[in-house]
Amino acid sequence: MTTMTIRQLKSISVVLVTFLTQTTQAQIIPSPVKAEYGKGIFLISNTTSIGIPSKQPALAKTADYLATRLQTVRGFKPAIVESLQAPIQFILNAKADSRLGAEGYTLNVTPNNITVQANSPAGIFYGVQTMLQLLPKEIEGKTTRSVSWHIPVVTIIDYPRFAWRGIMLDVSRHFFPKEYVKNYIDQLARYKFNRLHWHLTDDNGWRVEIKSLPKLTEVGAWSVPRTGTFGMNEAPQPGEAATYGGFYTQEDIKEIVQYAKDRYIEILPEVDIPGHSMAAIAAYPELAVTKDPNTKVNPGSNFSKWFGQGKFEMYIDNTLNPTDEKVYQFLDKVFTEVATLFPFEYIHMGGDECYKGYWERDANVQTFMKKNNLKNGEELQSYFSKRVAKIITAKKKKVIGWDEILEGGVAPGVSVMSWRGTKGGIEASHLKHPVVMSPAPMYYLDMRQGDPSVEPPVYGDARLKDVYAFDPFPAEMDTTYVLGGQANLWTEQVPTTPQVEYMTYPRAFAVSETMWSKKNKKDWNGFVKRVEGHFERFDMAGINYARSIYDPIIKVTRPGEQLVIDITTEVDGLDIYYTLDNTIPNQHYPKYSAPVTLPKDVDMVRIITYRNGKPIGKLLSIKTEDLEKRVRK
């Protein structure tokens, strides 16, 4: 009897340990290059100290980062000791391990100790991130919890596929406060992102304090308040106060830059010129050819028309005058301060979607173009870009811009951020320009990730499954010139911080995996499991995310008279229930198994997904007239 119990207990504990290692080993995002799991666990106790080599302030910071995380959930801060034999030991390689490069690491966990080893402090930081992901999900919590704080025995060798792994955050269309930007940076660091591209200026707000040009933020950072649909809002009314917006003071920026640096994230500042400049023009109308003193910071009202194929018209002038010396003096002041504020080697000069109509209609601009032998608007923008590149280079910074800067020629050495598909990137790489890939729509975090009826009103789609499968580096690229890639969060339809997170996650997980993990190792079902593990972590951390992967995907056709709907899901193993009679479907209603032909008088289709008998996706309620509009020809 007693022996039976012991044997039983043993087998239970074996099952338990296997269970623990199995559930935890599947959780790392981005997936490491190589991980071999062993038997057993390392248990963190109150005597678990963190050892760092002496005179390594960067490692001391990372140790403190780890100790603070553990303190938050355990109520006890591990000691940080200058030692080479602590239970958790950081080791900087005296002689570089050539497999690891500048950001790689090895992580060795045995029942007795943990070593994180790397060629650089960045590598140690990433090893710590992996270690944190191997701890129970409660590590993400904000209060103490009594769970078993263990890490499975494992040997990991890991290093990134690309050196540039970024996210772009647009703070112009909507403003997000300093504390939130720090919070966002902290989230990105956990997924081994190392670049935050900060879109600081646009038509809807100038967000960086420039001391020599105070009106940029006194005037340019504020618009009239609107809560409607961005792009369709009411224009500013005469005498209406501009109360919405904000900006980062130079002190704020220094704080954010340091915060990011401590997490091995470089911040790429973008000043988007010569188009997208309405906020600057509202502050200094003389910067545009039209010099309209009534120009206001745009509150998301409509001022442009899009004709497709990249053709558009702007009804309000949002373009700097490339023929005016004063514009270059202005930009010199801007970039002098931007270059001092941001230590990163690059500055982004924008260059996208520049409307040339006001230039073309201006007699002085035409005279200037003739004199300088510039044949069209593209060549004039190219003239502008080259002069701006010179200004930025004079501040000892490298220049990067959106792929439009290639049009009409660009200065050698200038880097290109490819957004209009992958074409610009391929072309730039062959012209020997360094390239960062951020192609729309897959790497556009403002795109819909689920059904249009329950996602923000935007012009395209990027579902997690497609983003995950997508590799933005086509074989035709000259890879010598590829720096890496990033996903862009444009915020026209992202007014609040929960929405920033909803749009970022889980798609940023897919992006981080493509940028970091080995190519051709993708496995959708395995990825979904890990994503779900991180959903639980986000629940602990209080971070929002989209659960759109559980929503039904609807395809509508009309093979004959009537509409036919075909319903699928991104995630395997979901049950789909639907109704056609305006009742709310659940597991008692018809289960979808094959395409449904809609009877003629149906006016509403409602669909919901279940997993294991519980609702999991959003309830979709779509009017037949809306389904009609979706018919695939």
Q: How far is the CB of 228 from ligand TNX (least distance, A)?
A: 18
Alpha-carbon distance of 77 to 176, in angstroms, equals 32
Q: Which of residues 98-137 bind ligand TNX (CB under 6 A)?
A: none
Residue 352 interacting with ligand TNX (CB under 6 A): yes
Output Rg (C-alpha) for the chain, integer angstroms: 27
Cβ–Cβ under 8 Å, residues 488 and 197: yes
Q: Which is nearer to ligand TNX, 19 or 306 (CB)?
A: 306
Instruction: For residue 315, give both structure tokens.
Output: 């009804």
138 binding ligand TNX? (CB under 6 A): no
Q: Amino acid identity of 562?
A: Q
Binding mask 383-402 for ligand TNX (x = CB under 6 A): -------------------x
H-run or E-run covering 154: strand 150-158
CA dihedral 398, 399, 403, 404 (to 10 degrees): -160
Instruction: Say if residues 114 and 87 touch (Cβ distance below 8 Å).
Output: yes
Q: Is the Cβ–Cβ distance between 245 and 176 less than 8 Å?
A: no
For tokens 């294991």, name the residue. 612
Could you give the 3-state DSSP secondary structure of residue 128?
Answer: helix
Asked if 490 is part of the footprint of ligand TNX (rule: CB under 6 A), the reply reads yes
- For the window 405-424, what string marks contact with ligand TNX as x by the rule CB under 6 A? --------------x-----
- Shortest Cβ 566–ligand TNX spacing (Å): 28
Confirm whether 202 is a catalytic residue: yes
Q: Which residues of 218-227 are buried (b: 16+ CB within 10 A; e: fewer)?
A: ebbbbbbebe
Nearer to ligand TNX, 97 or 353 (CB): 353
* Sequence-ordered list of residues with C-beta below 8 angstroms from that of 247, at least 6 positions apart, any chain: 175, 205, 206, 207, 208, 209, 217, 221
Residue 378 touches ligand TNX, criterion: CB under 6 A: no
CB of 186 to ligand TNX, least distance (A): 25
State in angstroms the smallest separation of the CB of 417 from ligand TNX.
Answer: 8
Angle of helix 497-504 versus helix 178-190 axis, rounded to 10: 20
Residue 317 known to be catalytic? no
Report yes or no: 400 and 436 within 8 Å, Cβ to Cβ: yes
Q: Does 353 bind ligand TNX (CB under 6 A)?
A: yes
Of residues 149 and 402, the one with the C-beta less far from ligand TNX = 402
Nearer to ligand TNX, 139 or 282 (CB): 282
Query: In angstroms, what is the minimal distance from the CB of 402 to ligand TNX?
Result: 4
Half-sphere exposure of 157 (CA within 13 A, CB side): 6
- Closest distance to ligand TNX from the beta carbon of 604 (Å): 31
Q: Which is nearer to ligand TNX, 140 or 446 (CB)?
A: 446
* Beta strand 346-350 pairing with 398-402: parallel
- In the set 202, 252, 455, 570, the catalytic residue is 202
Q: Which residue number, 262 or 353, has a Cβ lying nearer to ligand TNX? A: 353
CB 456, min distance to ligand TNX, A = 11
- 455 touching ligand TNX, by CB under 6 A: no
| # binding residues, ligand TNX (CB under 6 A) | 8
State how beta strands 244-245 and 222-223 pair.
antiparallel
Active-site option among 174, 197, 199, 276: 276
Q: Which is nearer to ligand TNX, 138 or 270 (CB)?
A: 270
Establish if 355 lies at the interface with ligand TNX (CB under 6 A).
no
Q: Which residue has the tokens 């509403």?
A: 604
Q: Taking CB under 6 A as the criterion, which residues in 173-212 touch ligand TNX?
A: none
| Position 262 contacts ligand TNX (CB under 6 A) | no
Name which position in 209, 252, 446, 551 contacts ligand TNX (CB under 6 A): 446
The DSSP line for 48-106 is --EEE-SS-HHHHHHHHHHHHHHHHHHS-PPPEEE-S--SEEEEE-SS--TTTTTT-EE
Q: How near is the Cβ of 447 to ligand TNX at its closest, in Å?
A: 7
218 is catalytic: no
Which entry of 332, 353, 461, 566 is annotated as an active-site residue? 353
Contact 158, 105 (CB under 8 A): yes
Burial category of 480 from C-beta neighbours within 10 Å (exposed 0-12, middle 13-18, buried 19 and up): exposed
- What 3-state DSSP class applies to 187? helix
247 binds ligand TNX (CB under 6 A): no
Residue carrying the six token digits 């890879």: 479
Q: Give the pair of three-digit tokens for residue 142.
A: 């904000």
Tell me the closest approach of the beta carbon of residue 350 to ligand TNX, in angstroms. Answer: 7
Q: Kindly state whether residue 539 participates in binding ligand TNX, applying the rule CB under 6 A.
A: no
Binding of residue 444 to ligand TNX (CB under 6 A): yes
Distance CA 547, CA 33 (A): 28
Tell me which residues touch ligand TNX (CB under 6 A).
352-353, 402, 419, 444, 446, 490, 492
Catalytic positions are: 202, 276, 353
